[in-house]
Structures are given as C-alpha cells and as structure tokens.
Structure 1
Amino acid sequence: MVATILVGMLCAHLLCFAVMFLLISKRLHGKKMGMDAFAVGNFLLSLAYVLQLLEGGVSWSPMSVLNHTLTLASPVAYWIGGMRFFGYSVPLLRPLFAFAAAYSVAQFMVHSTLGPVARYAMLSGFAALMFLCMTAAVIYGARTFAKDLRSEMIFFAVLISGICVLNALKFVKLLDNGLDALQMDRNFQLVFYVYMSFLATVLPPSMVWLVLRRLNDELRGLAARDPLTRLLNRRGLSEAVQLYFNVHKSQHAHVLIVDVDHFKRINDAHGHQIGDAVLCDVAEVLQASARRGDLVSRLGGEEFVVVSLGTDDSGAIQLAERLRAAVEQQTIKIPGADEPLRCTVTIGVSHRLANQSALEDSLRQADVALYRGKTAGRNRVESFQHADGSELGPSVRSSMATQPEAIA
C-alpha cells in the first residue's frame, strides 16, 4: 500500500514538473536549453508509472510492453535534453521513436525465448547500463566542457549513480528470486520508490537552477562583450586580467593597443557598413594571430587591445609584429569594387604589467607608444619609452613603405 502511494505521488511530481519544463521552454523561445526534452522525459516516465499502477502487478500484455518501453525511453529524452543544454543540436522525436520500436521488438523476442523473468531483468539491466553511461558522461563533463558547473555536475552524478545502483540490485534480485522480487510490498521495492520520489523532488528544481545559472552567465557574458566584434569590452578585459593575476600572481603581461590606420578615410570612402566589416575582419585576424590564452578586446571605435599573458619583452614585440603583418596581408572584398580593400594597423606596446591594478597605467603607456607610431608614419610597432629614452626593445617597422593611398 505504501509503495502504491509513493508511485502515485511520483506520477504527480513528474507530471507537474513536465508542465513546468514545457512552460519554461516556451519562455526561452529559440534557445530552449533542453527544457522541452526534459519535459518529454518526465511525461514518458510519469505515463510509465501510471501504466504500472493500472497493471496492478507483473503481467505480459501490450500495456506492460508499453510500460517498459516508456520507462527506458525517458532516460533517452533526458540524455538528449542534457546535450541540448550544452549547445549540441540533437533531434528528439526521431531517436525516441526508433528506440521505442527497437526495444518493443526486443521485449517480444526475449519473452518468447527466455521467459518473463528475462524481460524484466532486461529492463533493469538496460536501465542500470544507461544510467551508468549517463553518470560517466556527467563526470566527464565536470572535467571538460562543464568546468564552470563542476559542483552541480558532481551533484547530478551522485544522484544518477544512485539510480544505477538500485537498478543493478534489482537485476540481481530478479535473477536470484524471479518475479517475486517485484512485489510492491517488498522492502527493496519500497526503498526503490522512496529514492525515485526523492529524485523527482530534487532533480527538477536543480535543472531549473542550472538554466537560471546559464542564463545569468550569458547575461554577464553579453555585458562583457563588444556587440559588433564579440570581443571583450573594457569591463570584460579588466575582469579577465584580474582573474589571470589571481591565478598567476608571479607572472607578467604586456598591453598592446592596436589602432586601424586611416579608419575615418575608410568610413568616408566606403560607408559605415564597410567600416564595420573592416573592424570585424581585424578582430578575427587578431584572435587568430594571438597566442592561445592571450586576451583580445575592443575598447571602442577602431581601437583594439591585446594583453599578451606570461611573455617577456621580446615576446611581446614579436607578437605585436605578427599581428601587424597578419592584418596587412588580409584583404576585404568590397561589393562593386575592382580591387579588394587592404588596411594596416599601428601597435603600441607597454612595459610589463605585473597586476590588475596597473592595467590603466599600461594602457596609457601603450597609447603613448601608439601615438608615437602614428606620428612616425603608421603601419609599425612602437614600444613605450621612459623619459630617459629607454624603451621596451627595438621598435619594429613595416618592411614595406607606408603608402597612405593604399592604406585608405
């Protein structure tokens, strides 16, 4: 009687949260974060438990076959929901229908050849295997693509592993005691449904928490990004530099200010749409040419900043020259024009940056060096000089003569 009440409450929980997930997915519009798949998973599992209550016990009937199929289809829906949450585009209905058809056929084959015990044991065995794979995937995610959600992922792994263990124990009990192990008044069945009710109460709010956490992270990311180039803005750059020095306290960095030469001339000659295309193109070149881990940002207008992390003076100069040469070699096609557009950049390099609080000073140093480079003819790299004339290293100039007409 207690187990039956627990199953009824479990059905109510699953159905309520299925509706809630569906409503959330509607509010999220294009990016549903897997909430629609989680809603389907909850609905399938609740329907399976409803069929179990209607059966009244162990049986061999179309209702029982459908019950087993829905029970195992729900983890498939949860798996797809998890993949969608992390940005993978995975279809939902086609895999579910394919799995349902294949498992229904497998039930008929196993029941006709090995008997009813084998069919119920197959259900428990497959469930244990699926949840074991799911636990392994969650642990892997906590170590790789979901490091920002490590605590939450470990929490999910512990909960899912509990389902895996219970299904594995049910599989063993079926092999030892046959169908008697499935009697609703058995202690094991009571423990099983208590745990499932616990999961139905804890997991759905946890999933909602993950969605809210991800939405909050995305909003913070939008606030830290330039809307045109998707590079870090000044706020994002400051936060990233602070995070770097919190982890690497004894390391140094250098600030490089990159300014597109004659950008106003480009805008006046070709229009703001082409000007925006030039900025996006320069942003892509800077990202592709910078070292892995370096910070690339856009401060505004035609001015970009690259923070070269963990490098020495000569390394910063070499990086700046590589960036300058990469932009110079890039061409941009202009609709209706016979020749592609070429642009160049001038780069100012600061002295060593030792901590986040000195970022503004380093930006000023790089800006002074940038101004000197523009005064000297553009398309060059200049390093900051102290009042006594000492500088970071030898200034690097373009190997090509600067031709303003070509630059514009």
Structure 2
Amino acid sequence: MLCAHLLCFAVMFLLISKRLHGQKMGMDLFALGNFLLGSAYVLQLLEGGPAWSPMSVVNHTLTLASPVVYWLGAMRFFGHAVPLLSPLLVFAALYSLAQVLVQWSLGPVARYAMLSGGSALLFFVMALTVIYGARTFAKDLYGEMVFFAALISGICVLNALKFMKLLDGGLDALQMDRQFQLVFYIYMSFLATVLPPSIVWLVLRRLTDQLRHIAARDPMTQLLNRRGLTEALQLSFNQRRAEHAHLLVVDVDHFKRINDTYGHHAGDTVLCRVAEILQATARRGDLVSRLGGEEFAVICLHTDFPGAMHMAERLRAAIETQTIDIAEGGHPLQCTVTVGVSQGFADAHALEAALQQADAALYRGKAAGRNRVETAGPSMATASYA
C-alpha cells in the first residue's frame, strides 16, 4: 500500500508539473523523490529481508537520495534555482561507494545503521530548513511550515531510534521488535497519505497568491494599481488604527507632448522611470501606486502634514533632477511633475475623499505653472481635477 501511494502521487506530481509549464514550483522534483522512495520500497519487498547484494545497495541509495531530492524540490518551490542532476549523481555514487567500504570493513549492521543515521540527519536538516523558512523567506506560510516541520521531525526521530536499536542489538533485535516496525510503517504510510495533498495545497496557495499579486499590480510599472492600493491601505489601517496618512497625487507634466514628440515607447520609458524614482524616494512602508495614464499616487503613512509636504517636495525634486534615456530621441530627456497633497485621513474608506482633495490641489498646481507642490484646503474636499 505504501509503495502504491508513493508511486501514484509521483505520477500526480509529474502531471501537475507538466501543467505548470515554465514555473514548476519543484513539483517535478517532488515527483522524482516519490518515485525514488517508492522504488526503494519495491526493492525492499523483493529482497525479503536484510541482505548484501547489488539490489540492496541500490535500495539504500534510493532511500537516502529521496530526502535529498525533496529538499532540492523545496528550494525550487521557494524560488531558488538549485541544480538536480549533478548533485544527485555525485551523492548516489559516493553513498554507493560508502556502502561497499562499510560492508567490507564493519559489516552489515554498520551499513544498515549508516542508512538510518543518514536518514535521521537529512530529515533533521530538512526540519531546520523548514523552521528557518517559517521565520524568514516563508513568513506568509508560517502555519504550513510549522506543520511540515512537525511531520519531518517525526520521521527524523523514528530513524534516530532505528539507528540506536541497530547499534544496540544488531539486525536481529530490529527484526524482533515488531511493535517498532509497525509504528515505523504506520507513520510512513501516514506521511505518504498526508504530505502529497499538503504539497498540492501549497502549490495552489502559491498560485493563488501570484494571481492576487498580478491583480493588484500595474503590469507596466509593477506598482500597486487602484485595487492593490485600496487593499494595502486597508491592511495598514487594520494593523495600526490610530495612525494618520496623507495622499500625494503625482502627475507627469506635459506627458502628451512627450508622447507626440518622441513616441509612445518613450512615454512608457518615462512612466517606468518615474515609477522607479517614486519607489526609491518614498519611505519604507509608504504605498506607491499608478492610478492610470501618467498619474501616480503615494500614500505617506504614519506622518503629519509637514512630513507629507516634505515628502512631496522630495519626490518632485528627485524627478526633476533625473535624466531619462530614450532611444528614439538620441539624447536624455528630463521631465517634471506636479504634486497634489490631501488632508490627513485615518480610514481606508476616506481614500476617495482624499483623492478628490489631492486631485483638486493638483489642478491648482497645473493652473499655476506645473512643477510644483500644492495642498488641499478644507474647502477643497469636493473639487475635482479634469
């Protein structure tokens, strides 16, 4: 039954990886790991018991290679481009050679103990990696990582106990302890049943997060779009309810003239460069968004009105002093922006009113000559920018 679970899930992982195309998220390696472990159990059944033969050497190598492949698959799931073929072949060759040397020098008990001890060590490293990931690069999957760490720790402990039993009583003692063998088999069957659906759940979770990320981002500049800005602002206010924010609407001056003179490709280059400058100049934690066309928004969180005005001036000056290389014109281009600043607000539902205020201030700045910062007065809450 355990072999059937492993091999069936190996086929399922492989089919899923084929559907993921360029971004396989390690599913092809999880399929390979299941196949290696399933094949090792098939060879173990064919052996019928501890033995010294080429089949046994292959069995032990496949058994210990499977957690290595699982670990590499996990690294790929989290976006690390780790190689597979060369480290796997090197590991298989070295461990096969180590088996021959240990068998000839120390005997069969030492070879089987080496397998259990090596398995315990590898699963211990995997558990530590998962715990580290839950605290660093996989904070968004904290609950899932703790769950995986607990499961991996269980198989680590069982292999460590098996290692000690082998050293204490040899192969005969292990064969006689039927209760331990039953617990080991039940736990492995449990893992083979629970882990594959859990891995599929992680892949679906990651795909869903990616779709949510795409839906919240402007495809050209990768800044937040209007929807993403609203969601991020709501999240910020939920975390710090008493803080105030100010909205800055940033509009590129004479953008139509840039498009008409240099072409739309140059216009896109200008927008992308302005987005980079806004992102680099804004404080950490501030929200930067492209509202549409040549209009951007920066929400300064946890600041007062003088702080928002200072940030608006910093953004304006940073863009004015930058040159933008465009292929069509043959020379660097400089552009300016006008910035409208809203009154303070402390609720995501007040974003629309803040947009109206900042747009009205922006209109005044455009009418006054552009390349300037304008603020919204108390009476400007219902004005609009056309």
**Same fold at TM > 0.5:** yes
Query: Residue 211 of structure 1 is aligned with which of 200, 203, 209?
Result: 203
One-letter amino acid of the structure 1 residue matched with residue 135 of structure 2: R
* Kept after mapping to 1: 8 A contact 2:237/2:348: yes
Distance 2:247 2:183 in 1: 61
In structure 1, the partner of 2:354 is 362
Give the one of 292, 306, 309 matched to 1:317: 309
> Given the alignment, which residue of 202, 213, 220 partners 2:212?
220
The equivalent of 1:396 in structure 2 is none
Question: Given the alignment of the two structures, is residue 262 of structure 1 paired with residue 254 of structure 2, yes or no?
Answer: yes
Aligned residue for 1:5? none
Aligned amino acid, residue 71 of structure 1: T
Aligned partner letter, 1:187: Q
Superposed, 1:96-245 pairs within 5 Å as 96-183=88-175, 186-245=178-237
Residue range with higher mean Cα deviation, 28-37 or 83-92 = 83-92
Contact 1:254 1:309 in 2 (8 A): yes
* Alignment root-mean-square deviation, CA: 1.4
Counterpart Cα distance in 2 of 1:114 and 1:359: 74
- Residues 233, 297 of structure 1: 8 Å contact kept: yes
Provide the C-alpha distance between the structure 2 equivalents of 1:290 and 1:184, rounded to a whole number of angstroms: 68
Residue 340 of structure 1 aligns with an amino acid whose one-letter code is P
Q: Give the CA deviation at 1:111.
A: 2.0
Deviations 1:340-369 (A, max 9, x none): 111111111111121111111111111111
Residue-by-residue CA offset, 1:246-292 (whole Å, 9 max, x unaligned): 11011111111111111000111111111111111111111111111
Which residue is 2:45 aligned to?
A: 53
The answer as to whether partners of 2:266 and 2:327 remain within 8 angstroms in 1 is: no
Distance 1:29 1:97 in 2: 25
The runs of at least 4 aligned residues of structure 1 exceeding 4 Å deviation read none
Residue number in structure 2 paired with 1:282: 274
Match in the other structure for 1:399: none
Contact map agreement 1:346 1:370 (CA 8 A) in 2: yes
Corresponding residue of 1:346 = 338
- Secondary structure class of the residue paired with 1:308: strand
C-alpha contact 2:262 2:329 (8 A) present in aligned 1: no
1:43 equivalent to 2:49? Answer: no
CA distances 1:214-263 after superposition (whole Å, capped 9, x unpaired):
11111111111111111111111000000001110111111111111110
SS at structure 1 position matched to 2:342: strand
CA contact (8 A) 2:36 2:66 kept: yes
Q: Which moved more, 1:332-341 or 1:93-102?
A: 332-341
| Structure 2 residue identity aligned to 1:307 | I
Give the Cα–Cα distance (whole angstroms) in 2 for the partners of residues 75 and 32 of structure 1: 19
Residue in 2 that maps onto 1:327: 319
Contact 1:348/1:383 (<8 A) preserved: yes
- Cα distance in 1, alignment partners of residues 79 and 276 from structure 2: 23
Alpha-carbon distance in structure 2 between the residues aligned to 1:131 and 1:266: 59
Q: What's the offset of the Cα at 1:117?
A: 1.3
Measured in 1, the distance between the counterparts of 2:24 and 2:330 equals 45
Which of the numbers 377, 383, 395 marks the counterpart of 2:375?
A: 383
The match for 2:80 is 88
Would you say the 8 A contact 1:184–1:190 is kept in 2? Answer: no
Give a deviation string over 1:300-321, Cα, whole Å, max 9, x none. 0000011111112222112112
**Local SS of the residue matching 1:343:** coil
C-alpha separation between the residues in 1 aligned to 2:173 and 2:86? 34
Helix, strand or coil: the match of 2:8? helix
SS of 2:213 mapped into structure 1: helix
Tell me how far apart the structure 2 counterparts of residues 351 and 344 of structure 1 sit (CA, whole Å).
Answer: 23
Unaligned runs of 5+ in 2: 381-386
Q: Percent identity?
A: 74
Q: How far apart, in 2, do the equivalents of 1:240 and 1:334 lie?
A: 33
- Alignment correspondent of 1:64: 56
Superposition TM-score, scaled by structure 2 size: 0.96
Q: Offset of 1:37 from its aligned partner?
A: 0.5
Shift of 1:184: 7.8
Q: Which residue of 1 aligns with 2:300?
A: 308
Distance 1:365 1:353 in 2: 11
For residues 142 and 379 of structure 1, do their structure 2 counterparts lie closer, same or farther at Cα, with a shift above 3 Å needed?
same
